[in-house]
Chain A
Amino acid sequence: MSSSATHSCATCAPVERRRISRRAVLKGAGAVTTVAVATPGWGELAFASNNANRVGDVIVNIFLRGGMDGLSVVAPLHDGAGAGLLAAARPTLNVAPDRLLALNADFGLHPMMAPLMNVWNANQLALVPAAGFPNGDRSHFAVQRKMDEGLDGGVVGSGWLARHLDNTVSPGPTGLRAASMPNAQRSLSGSSVAVTMNSTDTFRVDGFRNSANSGVAVRAAMQELHAVSAGKLVNERAQEALAALDIINSAPQSPPSNGAVYPTSGRGRTIGRVLAEVAELIRADVGLEAVSTEANFGWDLHDNFGDDTTGRQAQNLQALAEVLAAFALDLGSDLDRVTVVLMTEFGRTFRENGGLGVDHGRASTMVVMGGGVRGGLYGDWPGLESQNIDGNALRVTVDYRSVLADILQYRLGTGNMAAVLPGYVDAPEKRLGLVMPLGAPI
């Protein structure tokens, strides 16, 4: 990690870029400094929480499948930070710097992500613009799988969130500890406590004529027909479904709070519905600890990337921002016990291709949102000069697992980091400190 890398920008040089901290800028320093990060061991924190029954946050993992371009999420504002180089590499796709929403003196957010600025201004949003998979693979499927499994290579066959749950004591009476929505997510694969729900609304027995009392007679018959038979997947899932039905049926329902409005049409409708239901389950206090979901908006823009307003990437980013902003608003103070982390398998190529699109690249922007987040920009900015470009792509300077490690340690109280992120060699200098320890005043 090039912690001593300096920045050639005349307006704000010299800058130590190991951490791009918005807080430091807010302090009016002009020169960005390293955020001081308290790193107490988990043992000291476990019972510091305000809520005796709460061990950690609810983690919501959103995978942006398809490879989201990061250079249009967080982009340089001026030539010193690389704006000119980006414009030259992307003559038709680039967002003009004066259209960006300034995040600090050097970088700005895509204009269509304006709905997120409230969250940013509340210091509940951390952006890591050069994060990614540490190795050079550019296959959607290979990298997604490894990231879902929390690896940088090899295969373990279970998801990182599943192993987190396995290695973490459940706080109370067993409830609905984890959910994959709207379909099975590999980060929870292998978990015996996670259920898959397309939607809480459709999670019910249906199709039978005898439907009295939420289909109690059908459920009883299904219980018998699927009497536990060790190792038979179909029987095990049936038993889990029947148990989860009891919890969902008795959970209080509530509409979105605080005037939050989720998109109900367009590409944001599915993830919008999922997050509205997650907020409802959090309010209902069903024991939820982890949710894994995905936002497949069509990020794989080898062609038709489009302009910064009506183009596909712009519309994708707008939908994403609207959904995240609605979720934060809906949760209100409950956001203090929720951490949302977004990741994607890779960013896109630096230079646009012949189809007015961008091919598979390397680093992209990871997003972390929550009440326990230290708002700001994080990680080394690798630069866009030819010597800093990695195979026509933004170089990865932050291993995605460093972001997960901060969350696992400080917000989730994971019991065994090595089991959750096998092969990840932890070190203080790899950590960003982008969340506050649980129990710290928010």
Chain B
Amino acid sequence: MHKAQLLSKITYGATAPVVAEVASLGAVGFLDRQLGLAAAGTSDVLTGTHSLDADIATRYQLFKSTDSNRPARELRHAAVIRAVRHEGQLAERMVEFWTNHFSTASGEDDKNVRFAAASDDRDVFRVHALGRFSDLLLANARSVSMQLYLDNYRSTGAKPNQNYAREVMELHTMGASNGYDEADVEQVARIFTGWGLAGRLDTDGLRFEYQPSRHFTGPCEVTIVHPDGSVNTFATPARSGPEGEQDGIDFLNWLARRPNTANYLASKLVRRFVGDDPPAALVASAAQVYLANDTAIVPVLRHILTSRLFITNQYPKVRTPFELLVSMLRTTGATVAQDFSPTTDLPATRSISDHLTRLGQEMWAWPTPDGFPDNQNFWITTSTTLRRWELAGRIGNSTLNGIVVDAAALLPNPMPATIDQVVYALAARLGLKITETDVSAIATFLGVATDAPVADARLDRTLGDAIGLLLSHPSNQYR
């Protein structure tokens, strides 16, 4: 049970090598290994001219006059390649989780995703995915992408901008209205004045810089009501000059260690790995583990992923579009082209972005800073149901540009005598459990009886559609 849950919930799809690894290491051994593997880096991901290991100035030169959406397409292409191939599957999942937790998007003339998100992907999320949350929070606060996205670089002591101050509490740490009020938002905005950017995109790029001249030099005070009703106040002394930067660092370190933050992060992690309505007892115990380990992420994950609720899989969890796409690419053994170009959309780049968008997950383009909801009702609608079927049909028939699926290689060898045996074997190969009714539906589609000889089904023409129907099976929409 635990092995099956780990395969379906911490990997992006049970390939034969991973199944063998779980069998040999055992559930706990496999989990420990995954908790110790880092996220993928920038090598052996994309080929051609790409910006994964570029600095911001170089990336600006690559993308300044191209389609403004292409940098996000590069990131999606790279994310799919890594999730399909990288052995640190849990680390990749956590990169996806934190990218959505600290969601950014570029509006029509914003520059954050276009020129800075790939740096944050590399230097913030991939570095801290399984590290300490307080380090991740600080790195994200100082990232060029977040500074640009939530406007903090423009905030001044005289005219504070509240955008980052509000969202760092509401979305990144404590959750909406969870122990603070509007007056606290104003105070936090003042604390972060002076945190900004230096440099020019078109010459040396942009980098984080603390600018004392913009910092509010009076005292600030933030009062948080903890879930148990106790109150904790963070106060900054009135200080100017370079020391003012420490106000924000101290505040983030304090904020990361509030019980409100522990509860909010624990509930999001439990929702991600266990179920849409996170069971309160597991959230509470995971929050305790977070606080007891000084915001380290690995002990929290180990606690959740070895809990009885996780192992017994009592809650349905649908696959997000990204999870669905990657799992189908993994179980069909698809080959995904790695070639990328900054000046034109090569086939796999385009296919991946187009289908994620149609299914509702245009990553790095979610318009608001809250990230995609982690909720089955958001992902599964009448509209996205049709698009999920389309994606399955295209993968079965290998009609996605830049992605090759060898359907014949999925057939059992030796070939069984009757069509029902072939359908069962294909389903098993794709990791699906199907019923007699399902086999009958597919046989009807093929125009044959379930016990008809294989040759009657004309699989040379119909195999792709049969695989597409199997990949559309409701059980394939759940993890």
Interface contact B393-A206, CB-CB below 8 Å: yes
User: How far in angstroms is the closest Cβ of chain A from B69?
Assistant: 14
Best-surrounded residue of A140, A202, A232, A352 (most CB of chain B within 10 A): A140
Collect the chain A residues with CB atoms within 8 Å of residue B158's CB.
354
Selecting from A45-53, A233-241, A321-329, the interface stretch reads A233-241
Q: Is B381 an interface residue (CB 8 A)?
A: yes
- The answer to whether B160 and A353 touch across the interface, beta carbons within 8 angstroms, is yes
CB distance from B319 to the nearest CB of A (A): 10
Contact call A139/B177, Cβ cutoff below 8 A: yes
Q: Does A139 lie within 8 Å of B386, measured CB to CB?
A: no
Q: With A224-B437, A303-B161 given, is the CB distance from A267 to B182 under 8 Å?
A: no
The answer for the CA separation of A134 and B151 in the assembled complex, in Å, is 28
**Are B469 and A197 within 8 A (Cβ)?**
no
When each residue 351-385 of chain A gets 1 if its CB lies under 8 Å from chain B and 0 otherwise, what string results?
01111010110000000000000000000000000
Contacts of B468 in A (CB 8 A): 207-208
Interface string of B361-386 (1 = CB under 8 A from A): 00000011010000011101111111
Is B377's CB under 8 angstroms from A233's CB?
Answer: yes
A102 to B45, CA, bound (A): 59
Q: Is B313 an interface residue (CB 8 A)?
A: no
Chain B contacts of A180 at CB under 8 A?
381
Determine the distance from Cα of A407 to Cα of B426 in the docked complex, in whole angstroms. Answer: 55
Q: Residues 209-252 of chain A: 1 if any B CB is under 8 Å from the residue's CB, otherwise 0?
A: 11000000110111011110100111101101100110000000
Which of these, B360, B368, B464, contacts A66 with CB under 8 Å? B368
Decide if the interface of chain A is mainly helix, strand, loop or mixed: loop
B271 near A: Cβ within 8 Å?
Answer: no
Taking the closest CB of chain A, its distance from the CB of B332, in whole angstroms, is 14
Q: Are A208 and B442 in contact, CB atoms less than 8 angstroms apart?
A: no
Across the interface, do B474 and A354 meet the contact criterion of CB distance under 8 Å? no
B292 at the interface (CB under 8 A from A): no
Residues of B within 8 A of A240 (CB): 382
Contact B389 A222 (CB under 8 A): yes
Counted as pairs of residues, one from A and one from B, with CB atoms less than 8 Å apart, the total is 181
B135 contacts the other chain (CB 8 A): no
Q: Are A218 and B445 in contact (CB under 8 A)?
A: yes
Residues on B with beta carbons closer than 8 Å to the beta carbon of A66: 367-368
Q: Which of B379-400 contact A (CB under 8 A)?
A: 380-387, 389-394, 397, 399
Closest B residue to A139 using CB positions: B176
Q: A354-B156, A359-B161 are in contact. Are A208 and B108 (CB under 8 A)?
A: no
0/1 string, A180-197, CB within 8 A of B gives 1: 101110000100000111
Those 9 A-B pairs whose CB atoms lie nearest each other, nearest first: A207-B393, A354-B159, A224-B441, A196-B381, A207-B390, A355-B154, A241-B382, A208-B393, A221-B445
State the B residues within 8 Å of A (CB): 107-109, 150-151, 154-156, 158-163, 166, 170-171, 176-177, 182, 185, 316, 318, 358, 360, 367-368, 370, 376-378, 380-387, 389-394, 397, 399, 437-438, 440-442, 444-445, 461-462, 464-465, 468-469, 472-474, 477-478
